[in-house]
Structure 1
Amino acid sequence: MNKGNGRFDPVQDIQEADLPESFVRGLSTAHIPGRAQIVYDTYPESNNSLEVSENSCGDLTFYLDGAHSPESMEACAKWFSSAVKGNQISSSSFKLKNLEEVWGNGHIQHGSGNMEESNKLIKQILLFNCMDVRHPHILLPRLVSTCASSGTHFAKAFFVPSMSTYSKVTSGATIPSDICRRDLSWQFNLQMLWEKIIHGKEVGTLLDKGAKMDNAKILPHEFLYEDASRCSPADNYFACSAVMPSLPLTIKWLRDCVKQNPSLKVQVLVTGSLHLVGDVLKLMKR
């Protein structure tokens, strides 16, 4: 972070680190897939929304960073906030207790571009998963507070299991047959933690495994626009977040939302797990 102007500029940080010129040149040009990587999605021409065509595009962008430690999550949050704002980080700050007040349904982008682009409805989405040993009760608050301090707030958070695991890496050419039958208990735990962070209070837990599985379903596209006031923890309904049954279905849902609304611009931060980031890249054939 360049403290002089409040901008996140890793290249300048490297240059100011008093390193040999060859080190600076190498670090400034290094690229690691899945770390601070931006992927602009392309729309499929076929009916299968998981097949990508190079000839068509939409307004869905994935920001991928496999951060899974408190320090890397903070760096990820600063990078994401800087990237979605065109490196213009707001100097205003928001305290965690005020997050529910600023939790919105996106905002209208006003810029110097053409009229069509400047009137886009922007939704910033979190797509998250992590291993239980990564301490999500530390990672998620760090992510939320760091983003909020830069004026970045997620319209929705989706918790989804990775396709790959530490013991098995899934090929991008094949999707596991049991992908929609996996235990989602961990993802529901992450959702409860998220809701506690956003609302500043305990929201309870889902009653039983059956109720959890019933809630892990493909959402109507209208869910993307629902206000936080629609949350009803007593009825096991949360308007700020959702558990999705699989990653392929989540990506298809996001693509369909953008296709149905030409004025919508969706920016998705994928983080918390290198497995999750790698699976997204494989599904997008990158």
Structure 2
Amino acid sequence: MADVGVSVAPAINRTYEDAVIAMNSLITRKSNASRPDPDTFELNWRNQFQSLFKCLQVLELEEPLSRLSVIHVAGTKGKGSTCAFTERMLRESGFRTGLFTSPHLLDVRERFRLNGEEISQDRFLYHFWWCWDRLKAVNEKLPGFFRFCTLLSLRMFTEEKVDVAILEVGLGGRLDATNVVKSPVTCGIASLGFDHMELLGDTLEKIAWEKAGIFKAGVPAFTAPQLDEAMGSLLKRAKELGITLEVAPPLENYNLHGLQLGLGGQHQRVNAALAVALCKQWVMTRPPSELHDGLKKVLSNGRLPDSFVRGLQLTKWAGRAEVIHDPSGCLSFYLDGAHSPESMEACANWFCSSIRLEENLKTPEQNGSHYLSNRGADEQDWNSRGTMVRRVLLFNCMPKRDPVALLQPVVNLCSRNGFPLHAAFFVPPYSSYTSVDAPQVSTTAVDTTWQQTLQRHWESVWQNKISGESSDASPAQEEIHVSQIELLSDLRNAPEGQPQHGSCLGPSSAVLRSLPAAVDFFRNCSIHHPYLRIQVLVTGSLYLVGDVLRLLKH
């Protein structure tokens, strides 16, 4: 539990801003200087998890929680999207839904959704102070931020009388705060990969074992297709509990081969398939009713109800495979919060497929040759609208991550798909990891040491990619010089006093002082170079994606 030590306004006058200040006090500042001692961390994590059951008693949630119908989802990548698909399908089917996810991008209330809408400010304040006051009355030390949010979500969903609550695991599964739910209706494991290894373990087997911690005796479980090492660990845990673990059938099993999902990218079909399996299981275990019986009849015949199909088509999830076109018409932002090597691969493929769809271009295979052959730089840089395209990466990630493992898939896959990146831009964090509200503009110089490290890794990956291309067919080599003329040369020539002045420049990259400066720079480029169409891939961090969304919104 975190030490609060915050002065709270009198109950009658407490505002949303007061609630934000209170929540900020629960966020622990984490140090990246050293790895936690495994034994100490396990003990602390377990103690913090166990303390939540006392909190449930204080909040009088034990009995209401036993009646709450829950779908519980863990995973490394795609668990948020799976939850979004699940929620939308059940909402379209006529059920009142609650959805708890993390992190939020713009407003902390995004974590708590009722029938697809973030909870109103009034209802948020009512539930927030109800929980805060009761926990504070028995202990000056409140649970940490995510644990408190989990308790708050359970209070909201039980009080707001939802038919189903979809809970996304925050970290791991076994000792995650959401695992206080003892009897979910069903559990799901999205695609597993290497992430949070300092906490969950350094092998897929160990990571999968932590994720499988959400499995419960008597509760059917489903999983996305997994690598053998991860699947073995999941199956072992399921066998220990005596439960079934089923790999979610692909959408094609329901004759949905050409279905256009609401979330872009081929990888989303895996997430959607897992969501279908979870929804199907949930519906089939509901007590008899006219609504339930109608859905059961369709599902029993091996088909999906129209409401499920409609839900898959209408699902939206901010900051995941999201495209925002700037009003200028020549600038587009492609946002995806990928932050693991596997999700970066999916992100790169989605980015290329989105561009291909927009430009209505044929794939390299359809053109009868590889992208790098028989196509000069001039030909491939001009799109179907008669404008020259520049594709750039806007990137940041946490220092604990391996930059090369994140950057390499993007460089390689974008080039392989026929849409190579021309340059990369790196920016320091705009919002604080220790605040749930909008960022405050800093008046002091920002440390860009980490971003310069990212830049060096990018240049190394970039140069290796170029040197690996054949000498007689390498548009990337041509593009590195052309991109300097338009984008990077604008930074070199930025007058003193401009936000972009003093940027750290590399052959194909730049470190900018701030995110607002980067967005302004892209907008100015689209104005000063009207023949350019700039396509910005924003990825590496959900915090970065959220900050870009906030800036574009305003």
Q: Kindly tell me: are residues 157 and 237 of structure 1, through their superposed partners in 2, closer, same or farther at Cα, counting changes over 3 Å? A: closer
Post-superposition Cα deviations, 1:35-54, rounded to whole Å, max 9, x if no partner, equal: 00000112xxxxxxxxxxxx
- Secondary structure of the equivalent of 1:189? helix
Distance in 1 of aligned mates of 2:377 and 2:461: 12
Query: What is the identity percentage for the equivalent residue pairs of Structure 1 and Structure 2?
Result: 39
Alpha-carbon offset, residue 65 of structure 1: 0.3
User: In the alignment, what sits opposite 1:176?
Assistant: 442
Q: Kindly tell me: are residues 155 and 280 of structure 1, through their superposed partners in 2, closer, same or farther at Cα, counting changes over 3 Å? A: same
Alpha-carbon offset, residue 8 of structure 1: 5.2
Name the aligned partner's letter for residue 122 of structure 1: V
User: In the alignment, what sits opposite 1:153?
Assistant: 420
Distance in 1 of aligned mates of 2:379 and 2:433: 35
Runs of 4+ in structure 1 off by over 6 angstroms are: 14-18, 102-106
On the 8 A contact 1:103/1:153 being kept in 2, the answer is: no
Distance in 1 of aligned mates of 2:351 and 2:268: 16
Q: Kindly tell me: are residues 10 and 137 of structure 1, through their superposed partners in 2, closer, same or farther at Cα, counting changes over 3 Å? A: closer
User: In the alignment, what sits opposite 1:218?
Assistant: none
- Secondary structure of the equivalent of 2:433? coil
Higher relative contact order, structure no. (Cα contacts within 8 Å, ≥ 6 residues apart): 1
User: In the alignment, what sits opposite 1:54?
Assistant: none
Alpha-carbon offset, residue 176 of structure 1: 3.2
Distance in 2 of aligned mates of 1:240 and 1:103: 16
On the 8 A contact 1:125/1:269 being kept in 2, the answer is: yes
User: In the alignment, what sits opposite 1:164?
Assistant: 431
Distance in 1 of aligned mates of 2:432 and 2:378: 34
On the 8 A contact 2:392/2:535 being kept in 1, the answer is: yes
Q: Does 1:269 align with 2:537?
A: yes
Higher fraction of helix = 2
Q: Does 1:76 align with 2:347?
A: yes
Q: Give the alignment's Cα RMSD to 1 decimal.
A: 3.6
Q: Kindly tell me: are residues 238 and 15 of structure 1, through their superposed partners in 2, closer, same or farther at Cα, counting changes over 3 Å? A: closer
User: In the alignment, what sits opposite 1:132?
Assistant: 399
Q: Kindly tell me: are residues 185 and 15 of structure 1, through their superposed partners in 2, closer, same or farther at Cα, counting changes over 3 Å? A: closer
Name the aligned partner's letter for residue 38 of structure 1: V
Q: Kindly tell me: are residues 152 and 27 of structure 1, through their superposed partners in 2, closer, same or farther at Cα, counting changes over 3 Å? A: same
Distance in 2 of aligned mates of 1:124 and 1:13: 28
What TM-score, normalized to structure 2? Answer: 0.37
- Secondary structure of the equivalent of 1:284? helix
User: In the alignment, what sits opposite 1:37?
Assistant: 322
Distance in 2 of aligned mates of 1:271 and 1:59: 20
Post-superposition Cα deviations, 1:138-185, rounded to whole Å, max 9, x if no partner, equal: 11111211222211211110011121132124526x53333xx11111
Which piece of structure 1 moves more, 146-155 or 249-258? 146-155
User: In the alignment, what sits opposite 2:381?
Assistant: 107
Name the aligned partner's letter for residue 434 of structure 2: S
On the 8 A contact 2:425/2:509 being kept in 1, the answer is: yes
Name the aligned partner's letter for residue 414 of structure 2: C
Alpha-carbon offset, residue 225 of structure 1: 6.5
On the 8 A contact 2:459/2:507 being kept in 1, the answer is: no
Alignment of 1:91-240 (within 5 A): 91=365, 107-109=381-383, 111=384, 118-169=385-436, 171=438, 175-178=441-444, 181-200=445-464, 222-224=485-487, 238-240=506-508
Alpha-carbon offset, residue 12 of structure 1: 6.1
Task: Give the counterpart of 2:518 among 237, 242, 250.
Answer: 250
Q: Kindly tell me: are residues 14 and 281 of structure 1, through their superposed partners in 2, closer, same or farther at Cα, counting changes over 3 Å? A: closer
User: In the alignment, what sits opposite 2:509?
Assistant: 241
Alpha-carbon offset, residue 103 of structure 1: 9.2
Instruction: Report how many aligned residue pairs link the two structures.
Output: 228
Alpha-carbon offset, residue 106 of structure 1: 7.7
Structure 1 gap ranges (5+): 43-56, 112-117, 202-220, 227-235
Name the aligned partner's letter for residue 36 of structure 1: A
Post-superposition Cα deviations, 1:82-117, rounded to whole Å, max 9, x if no partner, equal: 1112175434668xxx9xxx99998111x3xxxxxx
- Secondary structure of the equivalent of 1:141? helix
Which piece of structure 1 moves more, 275-284 or 8-17? 8-17
- Secondary structure of the equivalent of 2:462? helix
User: In the alignment, what sits opposite 1:281?
Assistant: 549
Name the aligned partner's letter for residue 108 of structure 1: W
Alpha-carbon offset, residue 72 of structure 1: 1.0
Name the aligned partner's letter for residue 72 of structure 1: S
On the 8 A contact 1:128/1:271 being kept in 2, the answer is: yes
- Secondary structure of the equivalent of 1:258? helix
Distance in 2 of aligned mates of 1:191 and 1:86: 30
Q: Which structure has the greater CA radius of gyration?
A: 2
Name the aligned partner's letter for residue 337 of structure 2: G
Post-superposition Cα deviations, 1:210-235, rounded to whole Å, max 9, x if no partner, equal: xxxxxxxxxxx945176xxxxxxxxx
Name the aligned partner's letter for residue 29 of structure 1: L
User: In the alignment, what sits opposite 2:150?
Assistant: none
Distance in 2 of aligned mates of 1:104 and 1:279: 35
Q: Kindly tell me: are residues 28 and 148 of structure 1, through their superposed partners in 2, closer, same or farther at Cα, counting changes over 3 Å? A: same
Name the aligned partner's letter for residue 30 of structure 1: T
User: In the alignment, what sits opposite 2:102?
Assistant: none
User: In the alignment, what sits opposite 2:329?
Assistant: 58
Structure 2 gap ranges (5+): 1-249, 252-256, 259-263, 281-303, 466-483, 490-503
On the 8 A contact 1:14/1:27 being kept in 2, the answer is: no
User: In the alignment, what sits opposite 2:313?
Assistant: 28
